[in-house]
Structure 1
Amino acid sequence: MAAHAVATGGLFLVVAVMDRRHLPDQLRRFGGLSKHCPRLAVLALFLTLASLGQPGLGSFPAELFILTGTWGRFSVLTVVAASAIVLAAAYLLRWYQKLFTGPEGTYRKPDDLDSLESFLLSVPIALSLVMGFFPSWFMVPVRLWLEGKL
């Protein structure tokens, strides 16, 4: 849940950055932003992939452990959960494609991220990388808490 919160929080920051540049009702008119906001596009892609649970990112170990741990006893539910992951991938990749790589929308051309926005979006990316490459740093305290030793 922590990895999901980090990735989703980062995606909300992406939307907040876009909202800051335009009125909220103009968000549906966005498209082709990667031409004008390449830093935003790269960071948004990273956060999208983190939310999808790509290997090396925070959500991957959690999804892997949940799916492999439930397969033996609840195989039907595991298939349903895996299907939900595929549907989420389709939704998030469509969202990214429409906003960043699709045809240009009808909006005022925005500026790319400033240094503060780049830093703020880099924080959840760094956390996701740490959670993905070093999941035991987060799992050991949880296991100790579950065993009543913490």
Structure 2
Amino acid sequence: MEEQIKTATDQAQTVFAAAGERAKSAAEKGTRLFEEMSELNKGHVEAVMESGRIAARGLEAFGRDASAYAKRSYENSVAAARTLAAVKTPAEFMQVQGDLIRQSFDALVSESSRSAEQTLKLAGEIVQPLQNRWALAADKVRSAA
């Protein structure tokens, strides 16, 4: 009987020791997972902040460019008014006015194209840090699976 009690006690100790090891291992894995997720989320926040900084710099540049374009437009309008005031004949007036309209239209098209290109470039720059984080998160999920 003593032998059976000793065997049962040894078996119980073995079972409890194994359960304790499994619990310890699970706790360590859970801690590592929590640390990895915290680090991953920290990176996500940093990526969002970087995107915000890029957007702010880009919008600041847009403001400067719009101000410069408005200034050029005003100066061109003043020069056009002076040119039109100096014409001598109606035919010359029509010629000068047509030239000025063409120049204004060409400047508008050029500025619009430049602005559109700048907007697309900025959008790509804003999204890049986020795309990098999404790719990293996807890799982590794939490696965890």
Give TM class, smaller chain: 0.3 to 0.5
The structure having more radius of gyration, on CA atoms, is: 2
Q: TM-score, normalised by structure 1?
A: 0.37
- TM (norm. structure 2) is 0.38
